[in-house]
């Protein structure tokens, strides 16, 4: 599982609810990279998504690769187990 942390709306400094240094310390403690981004400056989105896509496209070693099951072993979850309703529908 890959996790990235994005702090959104970094352009609205006067409305900040999480201290920047506290957020950075938390991310370091979790061994995660924190990016502060805003859609008003889309260039702030380039680095985190470039990092994410490059990590996702790196080949995995066989030891780390997930084991695939054949379709006969897979059962799609029922909607009710996911959403708590509509138990006659299936997620595919």
E strands in the chain? 5-7, 34-36
Tell me, what's the pLDDT at 89? 41
Domain residue ranges in the chain? 5-83
Q: Which residue has the higher pLDDT, 46 or 81?
A: 46
pLDDT tops 50 at residue 92: no
Tell me, what's the pLDDT at 86? 42
What's this model's pTM, rounded to 2 decimal places?
0.54
Place of tokens 């138990």: 87
What CATH architecture does domain 5-83 belong to? 3-Layer(aba) Sandwich (3.40)
């Amino acid at each position: 599982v890959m996790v990235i942390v994005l702090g959104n709306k970094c352009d609205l400094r006067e409305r900040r609810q999480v201290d920047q240094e506290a957020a950075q310390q938390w991310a370091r403690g979790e061994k995660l990279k924190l990016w502060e981004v805003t859609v008003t400056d889309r260039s702030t989105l380039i680095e985190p998504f470039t990092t994410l896509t490059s990590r996702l496209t790196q080949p995995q070693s066989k030891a780390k690769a997930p084991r695939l099951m054949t379709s006969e072993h897979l059962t799609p979850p029922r909607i009710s187990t996911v959403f708590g309703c509509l138990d006659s529908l299936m997620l595919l």
